[in-house]
Amino acid sequence: MVGKDLYVIVCAAGPAGDVGRLVALAQDEGWTVQIVATPSALDFVDVPALEAQTGRPVRSRYRKPSEPKPSRADAIVAAPASFNTVNKFAQGIADTYALGLLAEAPGLGIPVVVLPFVNGALAGRAPFRRSVDQLRSEGVQVLPGDGEFYPQPADFPWHLALRHL
């Protein structure tokens, strides 16, 4: 996989500020990492630090029509994935650049791993459970598993995302 592009989609959820840990793990495995933050997640992450780490601009909005098309992802990890983005992804909503990438990925055959960080009050909601089932039925890997969507931020299992690619 050396040199392949891994898109890391980061949402506005608890562990977002530590996404550099996932970047380091991925780079150790030979991935070139592109960070895509949701607009809300920009308040959670250190953009200059991530740009220095990846050597690429953090992207958070759709390009203008006049701007060049970026290279296609070879794989996508959404981590941490918020309640909001998981539900929108399942419904086919594409109103952020991150969701636009996710919306197309299953149809393009791009592997997608989603690592939600959602508290117990939200993880038990019927819409969220339906979203997880829907995404899995389309081949999206939603981790870690039933009933385990709300670890403490410090315990967030970044390493699982790469293991399941």
Ligand X SMILES: Cc1cc2nc3c(=O)[nH]c(=O)nc-3n(C[C@H](O)[C@H](O)[C@H](O)COP(=O)(O)O)c2cc1C
Q: Which of 43, 24, 47, 50 is nearest to 82 (CA)?
A: 43
Q: Which two tokens stand for residue 104?
A: 């197309």
Residue 17 or 74 with smaller CB distance to ligand X: 17
Helix (H, G, I), strand (E, B) or coil at 29: coil
Q: Where does this chain touch ligand X (CB under 6 A) — which range of 8-16, 26-34, 50-58, 65-73?
A: 8-16
Integer Cα distance of 7 and 112 in angstroms: 10
Residue 165's identity, in one-letter code, is: L
By CB under 6 A, what part of segment 71-90 binds ligand X?
82-85
Q: Does 117 bind ligand X (CB under 6 A)?
A: yes
Q: Does 156 bind ligand X (CB under 6 A)?
A: no
Q: Does 38 bind ligand X (CB under 6 A)?
A: yes
Exactly one of 6, 8, 9, 13 binds ligand X (CB under 6 A); which one?
13
CA angle 12, 14, 15 (to 5 degrees): 100
Exactly one of 6, 8, 9, 12 binds ligand X (CB under 6 A); which one?
12
Exactly one of 23, 26, 76, 118 binds ligand X (CB under 6 A); which one?
118
Residue 74 burial by CB count (10 A; 0-12/13-18/19+): exposed, middle or buried? middle
Residue 96 or 131 with smaller CB distance to ligand X: 96
Contact residues: ligand X, CB under 6 A? 11-14, 38, 40-41, 82-85, 96, 117-118
